[in-house]
Amino acid sequence: MPRLRWCPPLALLAALLACASRPSPPSESPPPPAVETKAPASPTLRLPTHVRPTGYTAALTIDPAQPRFQGEIDIDLDVTQGADVVWLHARELTVKEATLTVGGASVPVRQTKGEGDFLGFVPEQALVPGAARLRLVYEGVLSERETGGAFRAQEFEGWYVFTHFEPLDARRVFPCFDEPGFKVPWQLTFHTPKGYTAVTNTPQVAEEPGPSGTTTWRFARTQPLPSYLIAFGVGTFDFVEAQPSGQKAVRTRIITPKGRGAQAAYAAQVTPEILALLERYFGTPYPYEKLDILAIPLRGGAMENAGLVTFNTELALNKSAEGSVEWQRRFYETQVHELAHQWFGNLVTMAWWDDLWLNESFASWAETRILREARPSWGATEEAARNRSSALESDSLVSARRIRQPIERSDDILAAFDGITYGKGSAVLSMTEAWLGADVFQRGVRRYLAAHAHGNATADDFLSALSAEAGQDVSQVLSSFLEQGGAPLVSARLDCAGQTPEVKLSQSRFLPLGSQGEAARRWAIPLCVRYPTAGKPARACTVLREETGALALPEAKGCPAWFLPNAEGVGYFRMALDGKSLRPLLASDTRALSRTERVALLGDVNALAHNGTLPAADALALVPALAAEKDRQVFEASQELMGLMRPTLLSDEGRAARERLLRETYSARARAAGFLPRAGEDEDTRLLRNELLRLATGMGGDPAIIAEARRLANQWFEGTSPLRDKDLQNTVLSVAALHGDAAFHARVVKLWRLEPDRGRRAQLARALMGFRQPERVQENLGLLLDPGVDIRELRYLLVFTGRDARTRRLTFDFVKAHYDALVRRLPEDEGNLLLWAVASFCDPQQREDFATFFAERMKGLSKGPRTYAQALEEMDLCIAYKQAQGPSVEAFLSRWRTK
């Protein structure tokens, strides 16, 4: 490509020479009229691609104690066709200087503001193909409101700066091409006050003293990365060295706020192990030069930034004496997810956000795949079956997204991070792996990664790699799940009239009661039927492509006593059987089904009650028998049935009966478990304890357990608690708060305001969210308006109170009364919390009140339109379910009514 040189055109040069030789006009002559410069047309969704970055060199001056930062960035550009403007993204940045260099010469440019976050730089003369460099000097904000971009947080007496850029927040820190398709190297330098340390994606190459007591931190150039994977932190840190990780033995550290390094032991222990497992599966070494795990406050979850993975402090850190089984599992699973992204998302990056599933679906699928090998006792396959049910529930909405949803506006990008992308996507991948075989699927994954390493890819690229290894076109099956919303309902019945028994199959879209969706929809559905034979159970498999089909059971000797059309519960569909076929599968003494199959079946039973195929009372009749279930995964799956009798649906008498049912059903087992773990307990017993205690007290109101919770909570306040398990501590505090009085509430608030330790603050915040007495809830909600309160710590309080039938109306009234103030205080990208917090009404009048209040307001909220549509649909479905199944639920509860 020719090197671009900028020269004035001949006509302009001649005009300039003519002006130079012409005598000056008389002073009284009027100045020439100003020439109006027409603003260039702004992009509306995506940047043009004829001007692309080839690399960034940036230097940031950051003092965490100050609210603003300064930046300088040089962007190397490749111009592939004539361009009269260079567009990029910038948000809440003030560009003070802009210089365009072409062929070694400086070209004057002017700024132009485009729509939304687009910022343009217009040269005096249109650029021709070749190379150029844009240098910008600018200033930005270190936010105390957001948890995206670069944000500030205080830990004890010190200030820190952390970042989170996915999906659209790199533009808050760097003027850049903030789209995943622009994947190039970055070179970062930081200037900080002395005493602070900077960390980022790559190894440090220099630490130099700067002027006025500052320090300059220089870092190695990255491999090609999209802007959303750049990250950094500035603060006073503890560095905990783990064993070098992976085939390349890269340096691995856990980085924590000062004073919390001792809490990183578990993270340091398991991270190298997880990376080795992933390398073995993907067949290639970890792609980057080092691996740091940075613990950051306020932002939930974790983020897979290349070489600098960030974790919420309370997810990554735990005092060794308080590390619970539940917490360890959460960290391990999340770390598998984030490190799987180093291949799916980082090494190979989606070309555009409509293929976000190539990141998140695969990382979620990898959790099950790796945990099944590394921790077989954890029940990862059964957990995946529960997650499948959750995804199917979300997918039953007409307003649900597709996995590959077209992106029509920036808000669609934010909305893509949902249960469809994560849950449905991973379930469809598990179904595909089972259909093709684990070896074929693994070879397809490896082919895809090798073909697109350090580049970008699309769904078609992955389907092509998989098809090449499978020896067949897999796109018809996968595309039927990727490209359309909704999920199949597969109806199956046994036909033994012929010589060989058959299962007659039919498919339609699963729709709950009250849905306005169209049932006539088709998928290509891989499924296997399991059935008994004289020896071990056999299976027969097919791909159901048409509305109806039949599958022979060739190994059956006579008519099978039972059959299961979703072997191992791995198919992404709801299953409907007639009563005769369903009964033997649900019998409490039947162990023909695997644990995973029982978990999946209970999810389907719950769904069949929600779409009216099964009376709710018949499904609820399973609850008392399952209360004694020893298997934790099956027990927890049975709790999905509680949604069939949630308080919103019930009369006052029905709610009282429900509380009595729960107390009588679970209290004895909860009391036997108690709050204090016993020596020699297995992990499932420990995990079940929390669930049982919550059932017996949170919903059942057992007075003895509540009193014990109050006693243990007071001991925790005083530092004398015998409980070392943080999750049990949280259960104690939540139970005590739910039944706490004004004095207890005042104590929690006071301690929360004074507590400097982030971990204990988080526990006290959870306790605050447990109160349900109207006066206490009013006081809690008032904290959200207190300018001295960091709303990022308490923003989910709205959801905890708004989603509870006892305090939903009160929360909605608060939102209406203080709407504008809440919008100003909440993080900008989380404005839809105001919708979700009060989106579970199940009454026509309250539904109308919600619809009217948010009809216009939702347009100004992040993800507002989609959240609004889903909220209204869920309320309509609840109202329809209550009308159709309410009498059945009340009839079931009648035996627990007070006489």
3-state secondary structure 201-266: CCCEEEEEECHHHEEEEEECCCCCECHHHCCEEEECEEEEECCCECCCCEEEEEEEECCCHHHHHH
- Asked if 531 contacts 562 with a C-beta cutoff of 8 angstroms, the reply is yes
| Residues paired with residue 512 on neighbouring β-strands, in sequence order | none
**Amino acid at residue number 764:** L
Which helix (H) or strand (E) segment holds residue 193: the answer is: strand 186-193
| Per-residue confidence (pLDDT) for residue 507, from 0 to 100 | 98
User: Nearest to residue 832, comparing CAs of 824, 840, 823, 841?
Assistant: 823
Q: What are phi and psi of 496, to 5 degrees?
A: -110, 20
Structure-token match 């073995």, residue found: 280
SS3 state of residue 658? helix
Q: Split the chain (899 residues) into runs of 10 and give each run's mean pLDDT.
A: 34 32 38 59 96 98 98 98 96 97 94 97 95 98 97 94 98 98 98 98 96 95 98 98 98 97 96 98 98 96 98 92 84 98 98 98 98 95 96 97 96 96 98 98 98 98 98 97 97 95 97 96 97 91 97 94 96 95 81 92 97 96 91 93 93 92 92 89 89 84 91 95 90 94 96 94 95 96 96 95 94 97 95 94 96 97 95 97 97 84
Amino acid at 635: F
3-class state of residue 1 by DSSP: coil
Q: Is 173 helix (H, G, I), strand (E, B) or coil?
A: coil
Q: Taking the CB of residue 627, how many other CB atoms lie within 10 A of it?
A: 18
Rounded CA-CA distance 412/487 in Å is 21
CA separation for the pair 611, 702 (Å, rounded): 33
Q: What is the pLDDT of residue 609?
A: 97
**Strand pairing of 574-577 and 488-495?**
parallel
pLDDT given for residue 592 in this prediction: 84
Query: For 695-806, where are the alpha helices, taking DSSP H only?
Result: 703-718, 726-738, 742-754, 758-768, 774-783, 791-794, 797-802
- Residue corresponding to tokens 């199944």: 885
Could you tell me the maximum CA-CA distance found in the chain, to the nearest angstrom? 113
pLDDT for residue 10: 30
H and E: helices and strands count for the chain: 31, 28
| Partners of residue 123 on adjacent β-strands | 109
Cα–Cα distance measured from residue 481 to residue 477, given in angstroms and rounded to the nearest whole number: 7
764-773 core/surface letters (b: 16 or more CB in 10 A; e: else): bbbbbbbbbb
Tokens of 571: 């198919």
| Encoded tokens for 618 | 């018949």
Please tell me the distance from the alpha carbon of residue 665 to that of residue 625, in angstroms, as a whole number: 9
Token pair 């990255």 in the structure block, residue: 222
For residue 620, the surrounding DSSP H or E stretch is helix 616-620
Residue 352, CA atoms < 13 Å, CB-side half-sphere: 14
CB 633 within 8 A of CB 382: yes
> Which pLDDT score, from 0 to 100, does residue 560 have?
94
Q: How far apart are CA 42 and CA 100, in angstroms?
A: 20
Distance, in Å, from the CA atom of 583 to the CA atom of 561, rounded to the nearest integer, reads 11
pLDDT at 12: 31
Q: Which helix (H) or strand (E) holds 200?
A: strand 197-200
Give the list of residues 6+ apart from residue 562 with CB closer than 8 angstroms, or none.
531, 532, 581, 584, 585, 590, 592
Specify whether the backbone of 128 is left (phi greater than 0), alpha (psi in -120 to 50) or beta. beta
Q: What share of the chain is helix, strand, coil (3-state, %, to 5)?
A: 45, 20, 35
Determine which helix (DSSP H) or strand (DSSP E) holds 388, and give its type and residue range: helix 380-395
C-alpha 373/C-alpha 285 separation (Å) is 19
Distance of CA 8 to the CA centre of its chain: 52
Q: Cis omega (within 30 of 0) on the bond before 244?
A: no
Residue (of 125, 42, 132, 124) closest to 80 by Cα position: 132
CA–CA separation, 462 and 388 (whole Å): 22
Beta-bridged to residue 456, according to DSSP, are 349
Contact 890, 522 (CB under 8 A): no
- What pLDDT sits at residue 23? 34
- How far apart, in Å, are the Cα atoms of 715 and each of 246, 733, 760, 769? 44, 11, 14, 20
Q: Which of 700, 630, 642 is nearest to 667 (CA)?
A: 700
* Whole-number pLDDT of residue 589: 59
Which is nearest to 360 in space by CA: 397, 413, 398, 283?
413
Q: What is the pLDDT of residue 557?
A: 87
Q: Which residues contact 652 (CB under 8 A, 6 or more apart)?
A: none
Cβ 348 vs Cβ 456: under 8 Å: yes
Q: What are phi and psi of 53, to 5 degrees?
A: -80, 150
As beta bridge partners, residue 209 has: 215
**Six-digit token pair at 51?**
């001007």
Q: Is 790 exposed, middle or buried (0-12, 13-18, 19+ CB in 10 A)?
A: middle
For the chain, the first-to-last Cα distance in angstroms comes to 88
CA 7 to chain centre: 50
